[in-house]
Amino acid sequence: DSGVTQTPKHLITATGQRVTLRCSPRSGDLSVYWYQQSLDQGLQFLIQYYNGEERAKGNILERFSAQQFPDLHSELNLSSLELGDSALYFCASSALTGWDEKLFFGSGTQLSVL
Amino acid sequence: SQQGEEDPQALSIQEGENATMNCSYKTSINNLQWYRQNSGRGLVHLILIRSNEREKHSGRLRVTLDTSKKSSSLLITASRAADTASYFCATERRDDKIIFGKGTRLHILP
């Protein structure tokens, strides 16, 4: 068990809908990362937060947004969903001490857009 | 693409043999890491090598890094059935982003 909790584990929704994925980092970790994993694109970096602030941004679509709350949990919001958004979404956390960051991954949310 | 590249995409070997996977990347890095993913589950950190290191060992794992060629290799010695998984390299870039490759699927045959 990595200590990172993601909910829900599975999500089935329709095109055009909006969903929220939730992540609780390991106790003491201040940094949260979101990744999207699909068969053809591999593991794509979406966004990183540190202690409530956005720290780095990857290939995150404008229809997607995220935030990290004062209790350090994070939410990834996906709106106007398309079939191509179907993927496994991972959250990871790290202590972000400045060097040699190791990521601890949650078990992921499997999103299916029908 | 923001990603590095692992090679090969898939690898099947007999139990007990050694498995070698390679990773190439594009930009300067702080460190390079290898992760393992069992089918559909979260990734698990295996080993980290800093940009000023050339080789590192951890148990049956050996990682090398050649920053002049922007490449790394992961060697798993004396493979076991439990090593069947996908293996990803991840680079921590100078802008602190941690970027993953597409992975190598390793299958250990009994």
- DSSP-assigned letters across all residues of B37-105: E-TTS-EEEEEEEETT-SEEEETTEEEEEETTTTEEEEEE-S--GGG-EEEEEEEEETTS-EEE---EE
pLDDT of res. A35 = 97
**Contact yes or no for B78/B60 (Cβ under 8 A):** yes
Mean pLDDT of A58-85: 96
Which residues of chain A neighbour B95 with C-beta distances below 8 Å?
Answer: 56
Q: Give yes or no for residue A61 having a pLDDT over 70.
A: yes
Q: Which helix H or strand E contains A46, and what residues bound it? A: strand A42-50
Q: Residue A48's closest CA among A99, A90, A6?
A: A90
B53-71 confidence digits (pLDDT tens): 999 999 999 999 999 999 9
A64 alpha-carbon distance from chain centroid: 10
**Contact yes or no for B87/B42 (Cβ under 8 A):** no
Q: Give yes or no for residue B30 having a pLDDT over 70.
A: yes
Which residues, including other chains, have CB under 8 Å from residue A22's CB and lie 6 or more apart?
A6, A7, A8, A73, A74, A75
Higher pLDDT, A2 or A12: A12
Bridge partners (DSSP) listed for residue B29? B93
**Pairing mode of beta strands B43-50, A5-7:** unpaired
Taking CA–CA distances from B9, the nearest residue in chain A reads A42
pLDDT of res. A59 = 86
Q: Give yes or no for residue B2 having a pLDDT over 60.
A: no
B88 alpha-carbon distance from chain centroid: 5
Q: How many residues make up chain A in this entry?
A: 114
Q: Which residue is it, tokens 């089935």?
A: A12
| Token output for A74 | 């994070």
- The Cα B90–Cα B25 span in angstroms is 9
Q: By the CB < 8 Å criterion, does A45 face chain B?
A: yes
Q: Which of A101, A109, A111 would best serve as a mutation to test chain B binding (most B beta carbons within 10 A)?
A: A101
pLDDT of res. A98 = 63
DSSP 8-state assignment for residue A101: P
Q: Give yes or no for residue A32 having a pLDDT over 90.
A: yes
**Contact yes or no for A21/A109 (Cβ under 8 A):** yes
Confidence of residue B7 (pLDDT cuts 50, 70, 90): confident
B70-100 confidence digits (pLDDT tens): 999 999 999 999 999 999 999 988 887 899 9
Q: Do B40 and A88 touch (CB under 8 A)?
A: yes
- The Cα B109–Cα B106 span in angstroms is 10
A90-104 confidence digits (pLDDT tens): 999 998 766 678 999
Q: Do B31 and A100 touch (CB under 8 A)?
A: yes
Confidence of residue A44 (pLDDT cuts 50, 70, 90): very high
Q: Give yes or no for residue B3 having a pLDDT over 70.
A: no
**Pairing mode of beta strands A53-57, A109-113:** unpaired
Which residues of chain B neighbour A99 with C-beta distances below 8 Å?
Answer: 30-31
